[in-house]
Structure 1
Amino acid sequence: MMTKSDLTDWSLEYCSQVLRGDIIASDKVKKACKRHLRDLDRVDDDDFPYKYSVKRANRVISFIEMLPDIKTGKPNKLALFQKFILSQLYGWREKEKPVRRFHKAYISMARKNGKTIIVAGVASYEFLFGKNPEYSRQIYCTANSKDQAKIAFSMVVKQLNKVMRQSPSIRKRIRKVREELTDEQSYSVLRPLSKDTGSIDGFEPLVGILDEYHASKTTEMMEVLESGQVLLDNALTLIISTAGFDLNAPMYTIEYPYVTKLLNGEIEDDNYFAFVAEQDNEDEIHDQSLWIKSNPLMEVNEIRDMLVTNISKKLNEAIAKDELNPTLTKNFNMWRATSGASYINEADWKATEKHIDITGEDVYFGVDLSRVDDLSAVSAIFPIGDEKFHCDSHSFVATKGGLKTKIERDKIDYHKLAKNGYCTITGLESGVIDLNQVIDYIIEYVEKNELNMKGICYDPYNSQMLLAEIERRGLDWELFEVRQGIKSLNEPTKDFRIQIYNRMMTHEPNPLLDIAVHNATLKEDNDGIMINKRLNREKIDPIVAMIDAHTEAMYYYKNQPADPFLFFV
């Protein structure tokens, strides 16, 4: 017999409450709701290949609400936002065949907001009752480390242990051998998986759950899952994670920008679902009524007060200690660098990203030549009028020791970046930096954009051969020596950051420059500051070259001759 709950359209209920303002939600969650309502209006269109089934969605919700809480043993009661997420994953189907619409999902919110209930529920349902394939379903709880991967897996095991005590039919089906559950009725398996796991025969994951993906340094686990799904038409890759501290992690550099564009309507991807509960700006942390944006579990009255109390304690302590970033990241789901000593705040850096036509502008170049077997960079700063600046950078990649080894060590895909024009891989068989490529790049860049060369700012260390080649070619470039010490770099380092903060310096979209800014920290003593890095393998060469260029560019407007016509204005 169908109950009222079985007929309730939880997605529609959540969307209605969010868009009416009854439930306060982040900008991205609002856009996810609007997307659902738009798609519902398209269901009857011949060119829209998907349909929405409340019955299918509620079947999964009902199952998960029957699973016991591992602490109390009582059935889980899902919040409305959790029902919305599950409804999206299971309610939307293809019209022509019984397979899911969304094959990839990105779900992100602050800590302790019920992510694991969703993970364990999806894993358990697919393990016991999944379809297509009917048999031999493979479900993997994955993470960057084996210990993390086992967290979600262990919750599934504990829940199913309680289920087996209540259900003789389920008890007969399931066997656990070490770190693997087997369903003897369908020959399906559920197990944890990490990069430390050895090879798996017949690897074909129907569902791969990437738990706390923010901790992954590479896309390796994502690629492992998706490469194993190519012959499955009902597969699901589920990213479920809080924000993190590594601003060069693929969750932040690849997936987060993609879902942002998806929800903004800048790109179309009918098979990718995104739910991002986050604070829309840092000022919102001072208004408790807005914390629900990143903590959607606050919609539940019985939980709200406890969350508010605990987060308030964390926030007050963080403010008192002047160490806000960990709280912003874990309790408000905002991406922030680990240390407060980061050179430039990520929000300010993102806010100044802008494409500008620099044709015909003046330009100062900074050159940072690292070891001949490492990364080098040429950065450019353009005074663009109204006392504003714009900047960009290009890197040069050595291959000594093998490019593949360098890509794995640096966690940077230089092949892709070179293809997209952000760097040049050395053409020398020795694998060292080719100084002719560096000089040729500057010449071609100046000529292509009809720039007025104001000078080259360089670190004298490792620059003898570069200077000799410039002289040999008879290039009439003004050269400025910039010694790498706090006394000489303090002023340009401070001024460049001030220009960014005041929105007087913009920068081109540039992944390698972004990586360098994310890696840059501050080194400080009585003489001032200069940029540094936390780890030796972290690359900061593009921003180092930028500061070199700014040692001269920063004086550009001060050195301009007075306008004689101002007298008549």
Structure 2
Amino acid sequence: MIVMEYAQSVVARKKLANKETIQSCQRFLDDLDNSEYDFRTKDAEFVIQIIETTFVHNQGERLDGSPLRGEPFILEPWQKFIIYNILGFFQKGTEIRRYKEVFIFLPRKNGKTRFVSALSWGLALLERRSGSTVYIVGAALKQAMQSFEFIKYNLAEMGELENFRVLDNNMEHSISGSLGDGSLFIQALAANPDAQDSLNCNIGIADELHAYKNPKQYNIIKEAMKAYTNKLMIGITTAGDDMNTFCYNRLKYCQKILDKTVTDEQYFVFIAKADEDENGDVDYTNPIEHEKANPNYGVTIRPEDMQNDAYQAQNDPQQRKDFLAKSLNIYTSAMRAYFNIDEFRSSDTQFDWTIEELAKMKIDWYGGADLSKLHDLTAAALYGQYNHEGKSIDIVITHAFFPVVMAHAKAEEDNIPLFGWQDDGVLTMSNTPTVHYTDIINWFIMMRKIGFKIKEVGFDRKFGREFFNGMKKARFRIVDQPQYFYKKSEGFRRIENKAKNGELYYLHNQAFEYSVQNVHAIEKTDDMIQYEKVEDKSRIDLFDAGVFASVRMLEALTSQESVSSWLNRD
């Protein structure tokens, strides 16, 4: 059996594959022995046979230059592996399939679009007795139309076009027909949630997930399947350059499934990408990584072209991000983003102190707050340093605040995972139209009560005199700290250097990571730096609060050193 050979060779390291593909294959082999499931090959074999006997290529060339147009569409082992997984597992003793949702993550030029098209056709025929309805949804209609046109082309090649009702105009792009013992309906759509509340389907294919602006574009299709038991939602995509997106968060979730840090038995995951080291770096000129990332390496991916593109990426930094994202399927930060978030994550994951443990440590804490927009995201921070195993570790504790009346709108409009942060305990929803300054004061009071020794808090009083005065009344030593870029530069550089040296800990706070990824910085003279948001809809408030707190700590330490020097002079 080709699929068994594929899975076993990947797990045995006889076939080059990345970490996540190995995990996926191991999951498949383990599940074959899982008593909770029956494994039946009938449906998978039906879909594969339909694809390989009815579909042909509409364009392309083999590696030797011979044309592929009109040649049978023969599936590769990794494609059959995906089909056997999503259609083969059933709940024990039932006709209910295990997998309801699928995530396929592939680099470009691995035959993704045509595979999706062929799979759509095969699934539509498989589920015809249920009156199968398949939606192929792209972030833009043009993306979905590529799959639609491939199906339409093959219907014409089969001589079956006249037996189906084909609508292909400005209003609708669909194929429908009766099949004797059932029917099918396939439609190409743009991901427009405002126009899709009445959708009803049993199979949804969300193409190019990285281009989806918000989760609702995906969820509206998923919600359209509630009337079906054996529904199937397939998300398929390539990496992008924006880590603050639904797609990137979905990728991280799926990696957790494969790592077994979360359990989701209804979600099938296939991730093909280059492997990264502990710092998030990729050996992108290495042909081994090229093959790991591309399951169609040597089929539709020409090794010599990959190597040439890799050398261009090495010699031209402007090409590097595109090569990493499109050819090796590595998510990169936005072009204007200043930080490499992997450096922060690498540093942070070395430590695992809890809030309760930190409160008991002998650390002097310095605070900062960013209250510039009280109707929007607001942040507070504590910053301290701790000697650990011969190193001085900087620790930044950040907390976000947001008005609950605006939360749903802003979460969707600006794609901010506010409710996820709330579930993580790093965001407080204010029960007022704006974030009230007392919420932030109460956070500092709470931190003091549980044991944090807060020496000083830095804040620019012109951005909130009520907060400034309220902190004084709460018996905090609060220092007026104007937001001059030359002052903030010192705190910025401190955080940057500590992250690069593996000496920064931020308690795995994803809201802080989100802010870090949205920082755009401009180098000034004398190593100064001026920073801002990457774009209007992004937020950097938690990072900003951390910078304020860092500056406060540095200025306090400088003052202490000056006093010590004066006392110890001859």
**TM-score, normalised via structure 2 length:** 0.87
- Matching of residue 508 in structure 1 with residue 507 in structure 2: yes
Aligned partner of 1:102 in structure 2 is 99
Partners in 2 of 1:22 and 1:503 — Cα distance?
35
1:326 and 1:338 in contact (8 A); partners too: no
One-letter amino acid of the counterpart of residue 278, structure 1: K
Which digits, 9 at most, give the CA deviation of each residue in 1:88-133, with x for residues without a partner?
1222233423343211111112111121232111111122x223x6
- Matching of residue 180 in structure 1 with residue 174 in structure 2: yes
Partners in 1 of 2:22 and 2:12 — Cα distance?
10
Give the C-alpha shift of residue 26 in structure 1.
0.6
- Give the stretch that moved more between structures: 208-217 or 17-26: 17-26
One-letter amino acid of the counterpart of residue 63, structure 1: I
- Matching of residue 390 in structure 1 with residue 379 in structure 2: no
One-letter amino acid of the counterpart of residue 518, structure 1: Q
Give the C-alpha shift of residue 197 in structure 1.
6.9
Partners in 2 of 1:148 and 1:460 — Cα distance?
50
Partners in 1 of 2:333 and 2:474 — Cα distance?
45
Partners in 2 of 1:332 and 1:147 — Cα distance?
24
Give the C-alpha shift of residue 333 in structure 1.
0.6
Partners in 2 of 1:61 and 1:245 — Cα distance?
34
Counting only pairs closer than 5 Å after superposition, residues 146-545 of structure 1 correspond to structure 2 as 146-163=141-158, 165=159, 170-171=160-161, 173-178=163-168, 179-185=173-179, 186-196=182-192, 199=195, 203-253=199-249, 255-281=250-276, 282-298=281-297, 301-304=298-301, 306=302, 308-323=303-318, 324-339=320-335, 341-354=336-349, 355-357=352-354, 358-360=358-360, 361-386=363-388, 387-398=392-403, 402-428=406-432, 431-448=433-450, 450-471=451-472, 473=473, 475=475, 477-527=476-526, 528-545=528-545
One-letter amino acid of the counterpart of residue 143, structure 1: G
Which digits, 9 at most, give the CA deviation of each residue in 1:489-521, with x for residues without a partner?
222212211101111001123232222111111
2:192 and 2:217 in contact (8 A); partners too: no
One-letter amino acid of the counterpart of residue 391, structure 1: V
SS at match of 2:108: coil
Give the C-alpha shift of residue 193 in structure 1.
2.1
One-letter amino acid of the counterpart of residue 119, structure 2: V
Partners in 2 of 1:34 and 1:411 — Cα distance?
34
Partners in 2 of 1:172 and 1:263 — Cα distance?
45
The percentage of aligned residue pairs carrying the same residue is 21
SS at match of 1:274: strand
1:343 and 1:521 in contact (8 A); partners too: yes
One-letter amino acid of the counterpart of residue 104, structure 1: E
2:196 and 2:220 in contact (8 A); partners too: no
Query: Which residue among 8, 18, 22 is the counterpart of 2:14?
Result: 22
Partners in 1 of 2:519 and 2:193 — Cα distance?
33
One-letter amino acid of the counterpart of residue 373, structure 1: H
SS at match of 1:285: coil
Give the C-alpha shift of residue 372 in structure 1.
2.9
Aligned partner of 1:549 in structure 2 is 549
Partners in 1 of 2:462 and 2:413 — Cα distance?
25
* Unaligned runs of at least 5 residues, structure 1: 1-8, 564-569
- Matching of residue 145 in structure 1 with residue 140 in structure 2: yes
- Matching of residue 68 in structure 1 with residue 60 in structure 2: no
SS at match of 1:522: strand
Give the C-alpha shift of residue 419 in structure 1.
4.8
1:325 and 1:338 in contact (8 A); partners too: no
Give the C-alpha shift of residue 388 in structure 1.
0.6
Flag the 1:377–1:65 CA change in 2: closer, same or farther, 3 A.
same
* Unaligned runs of at least 5 residues, structure 2: 60-68, 565-570
1:194 and 1:221 in contact (8 A); partners too: no
CA RMSD between the two structures: 2.5
Give the C-alpha shift of residue 35 in structure 1.
0.8
Give the C-alpha shift of residue 202 in structure 1.
5.9
Partners in 2 of 1:101 and 1:62 — Cα distance?
22
SS at match of 1:395: strand
SS at match of 2:462: coil
- Give the stretch that moved more between structures: 529-538 or 103-112: 529-538
* Equivalent residues, number: 531
Partners in 2 of 1:470 and 1:555 — Cα distance?
20
Partners in 2 of 1:436 and 1:200 — Cα distance?
42
1:146 and 1:196 in contact (8 A); partners too: no
- Give the stretch that moved more between structures: 142-151 or 198-207: 198-207
Partners in 1 of 2:91 and 2:163 — Cα distance?
30
One-letter amino acid of the counterpart of residue 286, structure 1: T
Aligned partner of 1:567 in structure 2 is none
Partners in 1 of 2:524 and 2:177 — Cα distance?
63
Partners in 2 of 1:407 and 1:215 — Cα distance?
17
